[in-house]
Structure formats: C-alpha cells, structure tokens
C-alpha cells in the first residue's frame, strides 16, 4: 500500500480525491511535407532533424496503427469492448472507470460534460486517458512535486509498460490497461509525456522555438495523439489519417503555447522561462525583463508575435476537428474555443501576463458551448 501511496499524487486543491481512488483490494499490480505551421518551426530548425520532423515520426506510427486496425474489420471496437480476457472482475473494472469519470468531472467540468455525448465505451476510455495524464502532470506540478526525482519517473514509466502489458498496478491503471487493449493506442505518446516531465525537472530555459516545440509536444501534443484513437475519425471523413493526427498534435501544441503565454509571471516566480531565448533577444528582451515584469512596448510587440503563432496552431487544429467522429467533436470544439479565448484575454489585459491572470469569464465560457455544439454539427471536410 505504501508503494501505491507514493505513486498517487494528490491533485491541486484537493488532496483527497485521487487518494480515494486507490484500490481497496491489492490488485497489484521521413520527413513531412511542410505546411504553414511547420514553416515557422523549420525557420529555427536544428541542423540535423528538427523537433517537428522527429515528432512527425510518432504521428506516422500512431496513424499506421489506426489504419492497420481499420483494415481488420472483425475487430469492431464496440464488439471488442465485450471481450472478457484480462479482467474477470467486471464490477471492479466498472468502478475503476467510474472513478476516472469522477476525477475528470472534478478537474475538467466542461470537458466531462462534452464526453457525455460520446458512446459509453469511448467516453470511459477518454476518462481513463485523462486520469493517467492528470496523474502524470501532478507528479511534477502537484503538491508532492518536490519529492519527484528522475528515478521516480523511471518507476512511473515501468508502471506504464506493465499496464500496457496487462499488468495494472492499481484500479486507475486497470481502467487504462483495459482501454489500451481495446483501442489502437500506441505507447509512445505516453512515454513521451513522461519524457516531458523529465525535461521539466532538468531544464528551465529554451534556446529557440524548436526546443520549445519539442517540450510542447511532450507535455500536450501527446494528449492529442492518445485521444484520437479513442475518439475516432468519422467514417465519412475523406481526410488522411495522418492529417487528422497532425491536427490533434497542433491542438496540443496550441494549448500548451497558450498555457505558457498565460503563465509567464507565475513560471518566472518558479525560475522558469519557457519563452524562446532567441526570440526574446530579437525583440530586445531578456530574462531580466521577465523577472522585472514590466509591460513595455517591446514586450507587447513580442507577445503579439507569440500570440499570432499560437493562433496559427489553433487554425491548423480547427481544420481537423470536423474529421472526428461526430459524437467526439463537441468536447474538442468546446475545449479548443475556451482555450483559444485565453489568448484574447491576454490581449484584453494589455499583455500583462506578469501579474494579471488571463481567464475566460463564466458568461463567455457558457456562450462558447452552443457555438461548439453548432460547429460539431458541421462535418465539412477541410483536410486532404
């Protein structure tokens, strides 16, 4: 039990919620063709292979896995969900998924509501992925973060290997273990997210956008790659699987860039500057300006440029949302619109992201939901 306790990291603001999820019984456990977005990152590409090219290999691998499964008609997902291998105690497994739903509802209410439109199978699988991501993030961001060492992350990765091989360590892992046995989810994005957490332990500066891009892929682009195999691509979609995964990746990158732009002051107080050093220098800025925290014209101009780039990633993602299964589109649109509006809020704060938190008010949040729903109904193909 002590081992489990060590692993379960309490969430922000509520130390008991994730602890209550501990099981009662000891069920121990090539190059891509460049588009507008890539043109930006390739401008600072490293001489060998840019981060974007490396990340694209993961996209191709995940897309291949999905295509392979698409080809195997007999492996109809909904039927496979009735498989009995691996788990004999259905009540325990259902309870595990229910707990994942509870965590999701507590930490990401809007997203949780959106998942209720999905089929029960897909919905609970997305919850299981959400919970694993949340727990992974909490390792380095939560209240126990100071105790986290690279060795602890190695153990978390070993645990990931085990759950992918059908040996879950606790009941939340059991839910994910069941999910990855049913959907064509590759382990690589999960491993890469852990790699992102390792990076956060050892690195607090990013020399250029190429370095930052890789970090954003690790901690957020991976989420897109993990989620789409479960959310599913619309059967009527004419887009290539790769282009949909590319859009999913773009949404993760856009979200993380937005997160970084919103939290500049907060991160600086923790000694972290995620903004690319070469781009700061190009605008006549340095770490000192960030620690001083004064909104100057140089800062405004720099921020305008950063916001423009984040919006380009959102644009890239938007083209792909309509290719998802119709029932999965609404939560994605809702989260995209909400996160995108944080960029507007930074502008409304006159680019003061040092001491003023950019947030989207309740009214705007609520207003976004029908907009998201309307967009979800439109399944136009904008990708090839």
What's the min distance (Å) between Cβ of 137 and Mn ion? 4
Q: Within positions 234 to 293, which residues make up the interface with ligand LST6JFWI, using CB under 6 A?
A: 244, 247-248, 251-252, 255-256, 259
Whether 327 and 117 have beta carbons less than 8 Å apart is answered as: yes
In this complex, which beta carbon is closest to ligand LST6JFWI, that of residue 168 or of residue 224?
A: 224
Instruction: Determine, following the binding rule CB under 6 A, whether residue 101 of this chain makes contact with ligand LST6JFWI.
Output: no
Q: Which does 152 bind (CB under 5 to 8 A by kind): ligand LST6JFWI, Mn ion, none?
A: none
Among 57, 102, 141, 278, binds Mn ion (CB under 5 A): 141
In this complex, which beta carbon is closest to Mn ion, that of residue 266 or of residue 348?
A: 266
Instruction: Determine, following the binding rule CB under 6 A, whether residue 111 of this chain makes contact with ligand LST6JFWI.
Output: yes
Please state, in angstroms and rounded to a whole number, the distance separating the CA atoms of residues 266 and 288: 15
What's the min distance (Å) between Cβ of 96 and Mn ion? 23
What's the min distance (Å) between Cβ of 43 and ligand LST6JFWI? 24
Residues in binding contact with ligand LST6JFWI, number by CB under 6 A: 29
Site residues (CB under 6 A) for ligand LST6JFWI?
Answer: 111, 126, 129-130, 133-134, 137, 141, 219-220, 223-224, 227-228, 244, 247-248, 251-252, 255-256, 259, 317, 320-321, 324, 331-332, 335
Site residues (CB under 5 A) for Mn ion?
Answer: 137, 141
């Amino acid at each position: 039990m002590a081992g489990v306790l060590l692993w379960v990291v309490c969430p922000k603001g509520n130390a008991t919620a994730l602890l209550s999820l501990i099981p009662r019984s000891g069920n121990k456990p090539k190059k891509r063709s460049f588009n507008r977005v890539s043109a930006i990152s390739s401008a600072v590409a490293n001489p060998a292979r840019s981060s974007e090219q490396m990340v694209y290999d993961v996209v191709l691998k995940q897309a291949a896995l999905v295509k392979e499964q698409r080809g195997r008609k007999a492996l109809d997902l909904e039927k496979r969900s009735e498989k009995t291998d691996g788990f004999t105690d259905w009540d325990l497994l259902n309870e595990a998924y229910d707990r994942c739903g509870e965590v999701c509802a507590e930490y990401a209410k809007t997203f949780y509501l959106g998942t209720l439109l999905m089929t029960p199978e897909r919905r609970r699988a997305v919850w299981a992925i959400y919970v694993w991501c949340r727990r992974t993030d909490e390792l380095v961001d939560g209240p126990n973060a100071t105790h986290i060492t690279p060795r602890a992350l190695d153990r978390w990765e070993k645990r990931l290997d085990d759950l992918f091989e059908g040996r879950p360590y606790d009941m939340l892992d059991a839910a994910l273990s069941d999910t990855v046995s049913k959907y064509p989810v590759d382990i690589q994005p999960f491993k890469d997210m852990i790699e992102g957490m390792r990076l956060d332990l050892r690195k607090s500066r990013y020399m250029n956008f190429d370095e930052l891009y890789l970090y954003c892929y690790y901690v957020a682009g991976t989420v897109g790659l993990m989620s789409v195999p479960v959310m599913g691509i619309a059967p009527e979609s004419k887009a290539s699987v790769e282009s949909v995964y590319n859009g999913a990746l773009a949404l993760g990158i856009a979200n993380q860039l937005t997160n970084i732009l919103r939290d500049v002051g907060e991160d600086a107080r923790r000694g972290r500057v995620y903004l690319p050093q070469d781009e700061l220098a190009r605008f006549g800025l340095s770490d000192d300006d960030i620690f001083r925290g004064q909104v100057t014209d140089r800062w405004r101009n720099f921020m305008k440029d950063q916001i423009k780039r984040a919006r380009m990633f959102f644009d890239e993602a938007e083209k792909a949302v309509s290719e998802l299964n119709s029932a999965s589109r609404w939560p994605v649109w809702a989260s995209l619109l909400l996160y995108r509006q944080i960029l507007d809020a930074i502008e409304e704060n006159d680019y003061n992201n040092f001491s003023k938190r950019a947030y989207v008010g309740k009214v705007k949040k609520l207003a976004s939901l029908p907009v998201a729903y309307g967009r979800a109904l439109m399944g136009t193909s904008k990708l090839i």
